[in-house]
Amino acid sequence: MSIARLAIVGGTGPQGRGLALRFAMAGLAVVVGSRERTKGQGVADAMRAKHPGLDVRGDENAAAIADVDVVVLAIAPEGLDATLASLRDGLAGRLVIDVVVPLAFRDGLAEHAPPAGAASAGELVQATLARSRVVGGFKTIPASQLLAVDRPLDGDVLVCSDDAEARTEVAALVARIPSLRAVDAGPMRNARAIEGITALLVNLNRAHRGAHTSIRILGLG
């Protein structure tokens, strides 16, 4: 499947804006989704003003996903249940990339805080969107890196899904972003470990002032 058009649900936050920028710079037509159409449009307008020539527009989430090849879920974890319920039918049969990492902070440290009813956000998304092809990805790539478009990205994108073909399609999409490598991370059950790694990265960034950590997998051969 050739992917040319991509929507980002919750695309107005730092992670969504960073992904929108990187995908648009890779030549995709990107729709920045929001609960408020005008907010999505404002983010897209600002992006085009700063980076003329990018094919980016904004819309309300449900409209944003209507006519694209792939949908990225970049909403705040607390919005997951309501957003999945409202978009479930529209996402049926579609390729969906979940980037959500639910975290809680205790004694100054981030820890993985799985949503009620699942061991990870990825597994919740897959269970709720049973008619979609859900892939976890970009969970360990920080927004700060994605938004710093004058610097090359550094890190691997761990791609997990119970649908092996969907993993391959998302890996090919990742490869269109310069400097990023996709690593096939197997079934969606591994999302719980990947989301845990993100908690560690957040803690490393706090401990090492000014750090924007990500991970790279060694020894793949």
Ligand X SMILES: NC(=O)c1ccc[n+]([C@@H]2O[C@H](COP(=O)([O-])OP(=O)(O)OC[C@H]3O[C@@H](n4cnc5c(N)ncnc54)[C@H](OP(=O)(O)O)[C@@H]3O)[C@@H](O)[C@H]2O)c1
List residues near ligand X by CB under 6 A.
10, 12-16, 34-35, 39, 74-79, 82-83, 99-101, 139, 142-143, 198
CB-nearer residue toward ligand X: 1 or 117: 117
CB-nearer residue toward ligand X: 95 or 199: 199
SS percent in the chain: helix, strand, coil, step 5: 40, 20, 40
Q: How far is the CB of 221 from ligand X (least distance, A)?
A: 27
Dist. CA 80–CA 89, nearest whole Å: 15
Give residue 57's Cα distance to chain centre: 18
CB-nearer residue toward ligand X: 20 or 95: 20
CA max distance for the chain: 48
> CB within 8 A of 38, min separation 6: which ones?
58
Q: How far is the CB of 79 from ligand X (least distance, A)?
A: 2
Q: How far is the CB of 74 from ligand X (least distance, A)?
A: 4
CB-nearer residue toward ligand X: 4 or 179: 179
CB-nearer residue toward ligand X: 52 or 209: 209
Distances (CA, A) of 181 to 44, 137, 154, 164, 207: 26, 11, 9, 17, 26
Dist. CA 83–CA 184, nearest whole Å: 27
Q: How far is the CB of 110 from ligand X (least distance, A)?
A: 11
Q: How far is the CB of 13 from ligand X (least distance, A)?
A: 2
> CB within 8 A of 165, min separation 6: which ones?
133
